[in-house]
Structure 1
Amino acid sequence: MRNIVARLCMSEDGIVERPEQWLSDPQPALGELVTGAGTVLLGRKTFERYAGTLTGLEHTRNLVIGSRPVVARPGTEMLLGDTRRVLAALKSVPGDDLHVIGSLSLVRSLLRWRLIDEVSLLIHPIAAGRGMLLDRRPLRLISMCARDGGVLEANYRVRYAATAVPSTALVSAGRWGGTRSRDRVASTARPAVRTHA
């Protein structure tokens, strides 16, 4: 089974939207997202914005996801049908990992559908100021390395929340390995430090 890996550029203040608006020369940074990818997943808007200029896309298999057709280019295929089912089926086929380049809307949908396995961020030492953020709460850092120009590459594994459990079930492990049930947890606030006279 193959993984789906989201690869995004991010500013130091957490913005992952439209790096061409906050990077002075976005092409090398965007080209690095494609490096090493055999199959690239792109949303329609991202494909139309970068297909002609992004270095490396001409050497990959490009799968474009969208409801409207795109201008055909060599190595490009349009995925039709129910996106969630098509990508779930693609994951189950043996082969190289699938890399989602940019395409923030697609990344958010894939996270909601629990289809993304890893997220790779190229974090640039630039404050974008405004734009969309990526919710990093479900991400667990697995590696980080410094690159040229002060850029950090951070790789995360996605941790999906478990399904809900009834409120009377055991909900957490105690500090020393015991268990507690919800109805035995104190419901009133207590001071963190007690003072004794």
Structure 2
Amino acid sequence: MRRIVAQMFISLDGVVEAPDQWHFPYFNDEMGRAVGGTLSAADTYLIGRKTYDSFAGAWPARELAGEEDAPMAKTLGDTRKIVVSRQPLEFTWRNSELLRGDLVAAVTALKNEPGGTIGMSGSVSVVRQLLAAGLLDELHLLVHPIVVGKGMKLFADGEQPVPLTLNKSETFTTGVLNLFYSPADLAPEGTYEDAKKAL
């Protein structure tokens, strides 16, 4: 079965919205390798419509411009892109298609197709739904040392707890934490009485 790996830029207060307004001061070679590695490891991208619109509005022009980010832009363009949207879309970016039918059923079928890793970037609502359905295999969080103070958070208030296992972590020289999580089968249990033993 294919694996789905989502990578997201996130602030210390959990904000994932509009990273273009707070993320770039922390982008260095270490983060470039982390982001590029996740993107290049995927042969399919699964993305929401808003993320797709943002990517399609920028990366094709960057590829044509032929500057330093052109190789990454070409990789994105050459890769199969499946867009989650409730509306029909007209695609102008090559290798783009619409996910048909119910999200959980369609992604389950996609995971059962032959192929390699399915990558995700952004697409907060899709990530939430796939986590809740048990379809997301890895969540890579690039935690930036900044409190944004406003904007959509990765996990909304009122949602069910999502237990995760930390598989790997690294710290960049900018203070960004690169955290690799996978879903945990069960949330840990314990009480204050248990915690007192460690005091």
**Matches of 1:99 and 1:2, distance apart in 2:** 10
* Residue in 1 that maps onto 2:88: 69
Residue 26 of structure 2 contacts residue 176 of structure 2 at CA under 8 Å; is this kept in 1?
A: no
8 Å contact 2:26–2:144 — kept in the other structure? no
What is the correspondence of 1:159-178 to structure 2 with a 5 Å cutoff? 159-161=184-186
Any gaps of 5 or more consecutive residues in structure 2? 60-72, 156-160
Distance in 1 of aligned mates of 2:58 and 2:173: 22
- Going from structure 1 to structure 2, the CA distance change for 1:160 and 1:21 (only over 3 Å counts) comes to farther
In structure 1, the partner of 2:15 is 15
Q: Structure 2: which amino acid aligns with 1:103?
A: S
Separation of aligned partners in 1, 2:9 and 2:154: 11
Q: Which residue of 101, 118, 127 corresponds with 1:98? A: 118
Larger fraction in helix: 2
* Alignment partner of 1:133 out of 144, 153, 156: 153
Aligned residue number for residue 167 of structure 1: none
1:60 aligns with 2:79: yes
Q: Using a 3 Å threshold, how does the CA distance of structure 1 residues 88 and 137 change in structure 2: closer, same or farther?
A: closer
The structure showing larger relative contact order (alpha-carbon pairs under 8 Å, at least 6 residues apart) is: 2
Counterpart position of 1:113:
133
Q: Which one has the largest radius of gyration?
A: 1
Q: How many residues align?
A: 167
Conserved? CA contact 1:9–1:121, under 8 Å: yes
* TM-score (norm. length: structure 1): 0.72
Q: Structure 1: which 5+ runs fail to align? A: 163-171, 176-188
TM-score, normalised to structure 2, is 0.71
Give the aligned CA root-mean-square deviation in angstroms: 3.0
Give deviations 1:75-105, integer Å, cap 9, x for gaps.
1111111121110011122321111210001
